């Protein structure tokens, strides 16, 4: 993992400012993608994900910034460099499969290869290889219209990979498929990406997709990066409420810092509870503080355990059995808490329990109100 992060980036974007007709959609964004790795841009609709992708592909012209692909500057506002899309050797797959209905599968995949002057048996062989890699080899001579949505999307992927691009840019490629197929294609995409070792940037608003596919995830909000990290890092250490809410579920507890000192756990008073948090805190200042607790981490028990920090008597208020998962609403001195547990050891509604929140799972969030001065206060 470490070597990947420290390798020379294959795609680098520096201070990208982009928009449409005077309206700024991306506000000075920088990112790096390591060779052969998968980066997802994740965020709500309209936050600028597609705009970043289209500017990297060369389909839009940035207002400011630089874009470097495989060591070559393909765009630089200051140096007046702007390579056309075909010279960037990137492949892009969109949400709508963009399969040409009047052509056969062969012709659809061959299109980009013909541009590279491939002909005859060489051409057919490359097409067949690409189709085999997505499990569509036997469909080579079928008309494109005879394919299902999932099959069409696989053909679109085969076309994207067939001309051996430097990297692939995928914009919500699965969002037109039904839920079951999406999950299957997700696994197939991951296999493909790993088999070809292709550097990939993937735009999605689906957190599961981003978590399942990515080496790194960038959470975007209103044209800026809110947080970047490995999927688990973002899940376990969300820095802001926005990220905590966007990825996974989170209990957001609000209270006041009661004690904080360098090298010591921070103690936050939440209602009548003193919550010990051992997660790092950006700025050690007293005052209001939000804490995120993922619903999978609090523990419920029938007996008190003397050795535990962050343990309180509590009561089960509600229980919802969702099959593989049980969702509890628990009342504790800090208010109410949602807890996700397995249905292996069920607690009853109304049952008195002991609640434990591991101090390492109480994540101190960056307070949006003080974020601007956090550097000063630290
Ligand atoms: P996302 O991919 O995250 O949904 P987009 O990059 O598509 O977001 O859009 C970012 C912002 O730019 C939005 O406010 C959107 O309305 C605007 N926008 C996107 N495409 C165009 C366009 N072709 N013309 C004008 N505004 C656009």
pLDDT along the chain (378 residues), means of 10: 63 98 96 96 96 96 97 97 92 75 90 83 92 90 88 87 87 85 85 87 94 96 97 94 92 92 89 93 76 97 96 98 96 98 95 98 79 34
Q: How far is CA 241 from CA 337, 366, 370, in A?
A: 16, 8, 13
Of ligand 1's listed atoms, the one at least distance from the Cα of 26 is 10
List the CATH number of the domain containing 104.
3.40.50.300
Residues 89, 196 within the same domain = yes
For residue 56, report the distance from its CA to the centre of ligand 1, in Å. Answer: 15
204 by DSSP, 3-state: which?
strand
Eight-state DSSP code of residue 104: B
Q: What's residue 372's pLDDT?
A: 40
Same-domain status, 217 and 293: no
Cβ of 42 closer than 6 Å to ligand 1, yes or no, is no
Task: Give the residue, out of 26, 41, 50, 225, with the most ligand 1 atoms within 8 A of its beta carbon, to mutate for a pocket test.
Answer: 50
Backbone torsions φ then ψ of 197, nearest 5 degrees: 60, 35
Indicate whether 4 belongs to any domain. no
DSSP type of residue 146: G
CB atoms near residue 289 (< 10 Å):
26
- What span, in angstroms and rounded, lies between the C-alpha atoms of 223 and 243? 15
204 lines ligand 1 (CB under 6 A): no
**139 and 276 fall within a common domain:** no
Long-range contact pairs involving 323-332 (C-beta distance under 8 Å, separation at least 24): 327/295, 328/300, 330/298, 330/300, 330/355, 332/273
Q: What is the pLDDT of residue 177?
A: 79
Q: Where does a domain end: 236, 260, 277?
A: 236
213 CA → ligand 1 middle, Å: 24
Same domain, 98 and 188: yes
Q: Is residue 371 part of a domain?
A: no
Last residue of a domain, one of 236, 268, 283: 236
Q: For 180, phi and psi rounded to 5 degrees?
A: -65, -45
| Closest residue by Cα to residue 276 from 284, 265, 285, 287 | 265
**Does the CB atom of residue 48 touch ligand 1 within 6 A?**
yes
> 54 in ligand 1 pocket by Cβ < 6 Å?
no
CA of 249 to the centre of ligand 1 (A): 27
Note the pLDDT of residue 371.
42
Single pTM value for the model: 0.88
Please tell me the predicted confidence (pLDDT) of residue 97.
60
Measured CA to CA in angstroms, residue 79 lies from 74, 75, 202, 227, 333 at distances of 11, 8, 28, 30, 60
Other Cβ atoms within 10 Å of 69 Cβ, number: 24
Question: Has residue 375 been placed in a domain?
Answer: no
The sign of the torsion formed by the CA atoms of 279, 281, 285, 291 equals: negative
pLDDT score recorded for residue 134: 84
Task: Give how far Cα 247 sits from Cα of 84, 255, 294, 362, Å.
Answer: 36, 22, 10, 16
**Do residues 254 and 230 share a domain?**
no
Mean residue pLDDT across the chain: 90
Q: Which tokens hold the place of 87?
A: 């010279």
According to the model, what pLDDT value does residue 1 have?
43
266 and 341 co-located in one domain: yes
Cβ of 372 below 6 Å from ligand 1: no
Task: Please work out whether the CB of residue 287 comes within 6 Å of at least one atom of ligand 1.
Answer: no
Residue 206 phi, psi (nearest 5): -100, 110
CA of residue 205 to ligand 1 center, whole Å: 14
Residues 261, 356 share a domain = yes
User: Which atom of ligand 1 is closest in space to residue 45's alpha carbon?
Assistant: 4
Domain assignment present for residue 161? The answer is yes
Q: Which of 25, 62, 203, 246 maximizes ligand 1 atoms within 8 Å of its Cβ, making it the mutation to test the pocket?
A: 25
Kindly give, in sequence order, each residue whose CB lies less than 8 Å from that of residue 2, ignoring residues fewer than 6 positions away: none
CATH number at residue 325: 2.40.50.140
289 lines ligand 1 (CB under 6 A): no
pLDDT of residue 284: 57
Nearest-angstrom CA–CA distance, 12 and 32: 4
Range of the domain at 360: 241-364
Distance 375 CA to ligand 1 centre (A): 32
Overall number of domains in the chain: 2
Same domain, 152 and 80: yes
Q: Which of 236, 262, 290 is the last residue of a domain?
A: 236
């Amino acid at each position: 993992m470490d070597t990947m992060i420290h390798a020379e980036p294959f795609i680098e974007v520096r201070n990208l400012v982009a928009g449409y007709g005077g309206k700024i959609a991306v506000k000075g964004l920088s990112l790096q993608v390591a060779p052969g790795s998968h980066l997802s841009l994740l965020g709500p609709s309209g936050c600028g994900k597609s705009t970043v992708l289209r500017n990297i592909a060369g389909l839009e012209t940035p207002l400011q910034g630089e874009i470097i692909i495989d060591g070559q500057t393909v765009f630089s506002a200051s140096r007046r460099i702007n390579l056309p899309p075909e010279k960037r050797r990137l492949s892009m797959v969109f949400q709508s499969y963009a399969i040409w209905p009047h052509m056969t599968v062969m012709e659809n995949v061959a299109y980009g290869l013909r541009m590279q002057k491939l002909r005859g048996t060489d051409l057919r062989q490359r097409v067949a290889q690409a189709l085999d890699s997505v499990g569509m080899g036997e469909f080579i001579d079928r008309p494109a219209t005879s394919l299902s949505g999932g099959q069409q999307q696989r053909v679109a992927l085969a076309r994207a990979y067939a001309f051996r691009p430097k990297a692939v840019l995928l914009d919500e490629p699965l969002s037109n498929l039904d839920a079951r197929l999406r999950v299957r294609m997700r696994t197939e995409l991951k296999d493909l990406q790993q088999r070809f070792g292709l550097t990939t940037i993937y735009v999605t608003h689906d957190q599961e997709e981003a978590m399942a596919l990515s080496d790194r995830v960038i959470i975007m909000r209103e044209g800026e990066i809110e947080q970047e990290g490995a999927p688990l890092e973002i899940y376990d250490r969300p820095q802001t409420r926005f990220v905590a809410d966007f990825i996974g579920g989170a209990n957001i507890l609000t209270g006041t810092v009661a004690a904080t000192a360098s090298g010591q756990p921070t103690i936050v008073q939440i209602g009548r509870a003193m919550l010990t948090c051992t997660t790092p805190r950006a700025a050690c200042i007293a005052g209001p503080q939000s804490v995120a607790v993922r619903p999978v981490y609090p523990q419920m028990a029938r007996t008190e355990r003397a050795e535990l920090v962050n343990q309180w008597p509590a009561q089960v208020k509600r229980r919802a059995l969702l099959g593989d998962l049980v969702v509890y609403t628990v009342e504790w001195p800090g208010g109410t808490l949602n807890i996700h547990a397995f249905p292996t050891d069920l607690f009853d509604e109304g049952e008195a329990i002991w609640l434990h929140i591991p101090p390492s799972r109480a994540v101190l969030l960056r307070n949006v109100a003080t974020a601007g001065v956090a550097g000063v206060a630290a």
